[in-house]
Amino acid sequence: MQCSRTLKDVDRGRGSRSRGLLWGVCLLLAGLSLAPSGAAADKVSGRLSVKDVLTVPSRPVRIEARLVREGLLGPTGLGGEQLELIVGGKSAGHAMTGGDGRALFDYTPRMRGNHVITVRLAATKRVDSSEASAMLACWERRRPILLVDMAALTEEAGAPIASTPPLPAVPSLPINVHRRDRPAPVPDAADELKRLSDYYFNVIYLSRSGQGGTPSGEDERAWLRQHRLPPGLLVVVPSGQAALAGLIDRMRAEGWANLKSGVGRTAEFASVLVEHRMDVVLISVSKDEPLPKKAYVAKDWKEVRKKLQA
């Protein structure tokens, strides 16, 4: 009504040019009044990740999650957001993210086994993110542990479980836009490894940085679930003998003395395990490649199982 009265006044005075200008102002104000609120428009798209953890029954463990925003210069931590830890379908605690996007939960598992843990955003008006899951391995120390280099699960030595490191993500595109199809496991790998884990071993999957893995292992973990590999702890280890040797030394110092065997594809992997007095089986390696004397060679995963159970 006010705009109509003002237009009549303009008609009497300044003419049609002023009337058109005023109509434009009225339409602009009407459009602004119908626009969505700033809360919905300004919501940040985040990405949650959580790392696998290892402990023993009734011993506290610290679980680390991280909330980041993807950008042209890489991920940036989102601080000041409350996260919730879910174990066994029940809430197990809350924690606030710091400036780097990290949040820490303390949890004490009572039952042994491999337990799926989930971290999700608590109520927030600022960030939108899907939840993230990982493995809480609660093992007894006396059961033998098998190290499996994830390269030994694919057709070719060194074939990447995840895509090569992606280009910086474009904010308006999905996070996985640069990923490509991953190789399927070699025949019988899932079945034979399940037999080994059902009756004898706890399994640690090793994702080497040089294989194109992600720092928190979410891509590799999804690949293991997709192809129904048996549950186990996923550890991301930098490439090279020193990093693998350091992992074994740290685990033994923490009381995991029963690191017994490993399955891999390379002489480098075999050398580290032999030096640490562990049994090692290599699958589909070149006959011309010099190998440690105590390393076994298998043509497929059925033979791998037989050698490890011998």
Judgement on whether residues 102 and 158 belong to the same structural domain of the protein: no
Higher-pLDDT residue of 12, 87: 87
What pLDDT, on a 0 to 100 scale, did the predictor assign at position 60?
A: 95
Angle between helices 301-309 and 189-199 (to 10 degrees): 20
Dump pLDDT digits (tens) for 148-178. 999 999 876 444 444 434 434 333 333 333 3
Give the residue numbers spanning the domain of 83. Answer: 44-138
| pLDDT above 50: residue 304 | yes
What pLDDT, on a 0 to 100 scale, did the predictor assign at position 103?
A: 97
Confirm whether pTM is higher than 0.85.
no
What pLDDT, on a 0 to 100 scale, did the predictor assign at position 151?
A: 92
Judgement on whether residues 166 and 299 belong to the same structural domain of the protein: yes
Domain C-terminal end among 138, 158, 192: 138
Domain tally for the chain? Answer: 3
What pLDDT, on a 0 to 100 scale, did the predictor assign at position 42?
A: 72
Judgement on whether residues 240 and 300 belong to the same structural domain of the protein: yes
Q: DSSP 3-state assignment of 170?
A: coil
What pLDDT, on a 0 to 100 scale, did the predictor assign at position 171?
A: 35
Identity of the residue numbered 93: G
Judgement on whether residues 18 and 161 belong to the same structural domain of the protein: no
Judgement on whether residues 154 and 293 belong to the same structural domain of the protein: yes
Cα–Cα distances in angstroms (integers) from residue 198 to residues 53, 91, 239, 300, 310, in the given order: 20, 29, 29, 19, 16
Judgement on whether residues 181 and 216 belong to the same structural domain of the protein: yes
Judgement on whether residues 211 and 299 belong to the same structural domain of the protein: yes
Task: Give the mean pLDDT of 2-9.
Answer: 47
What pLDDT, on a 0 to 100 scale, did the predictor assign at position 183?
A: 82
User: How sure is the predictor about 20, in pLDDT bands with cuts at 50, 70 and 90?
Assistant: low
Task: Quote the strand ranges of 79-131, DSSP E.
Answer: 82-87, 90-96, 102-107, 113-121, 127-128
Judgement on whether residues 187 and 293 belong to the same structural domain of the protein: yes
Q: In terms of Cα–Cα distance, which of 197, 256, 208, 264 is closest to 232?
A: 197
Q: Which residues pair with 230 in a beta bridge?
A: none
Judgement on whether residues 153 and 249 belong to the same structural domain of the protein: yes
Judgement on whether residues 8 and 78 belong to the same structural domain of the protein: no
CA atoms within 13 A on the CB side of 36: 6
Task: Give the mean pLDDT of 116-145.
Answer: 92
CATH of the domain at 166: 3.40.50.1000
Dump pLDDT digits (tens) for 186-232. 989 999 999 999 989 999 999 986 444 455 678 899 999 999 999 99
Domain C-terminal end among 76, 110, 138: 138
Judgement on whether residues 171 and 272 belong to the same structural domain of the protein: yes
Instruction: Provide the mean pLDDT of the chain.
Output: 81
Judgement on whether residues 247 and 176 belong to the same structural domain of the protein: yes
Task: Give the mean pLDDT of 47-59.
Answer: 95
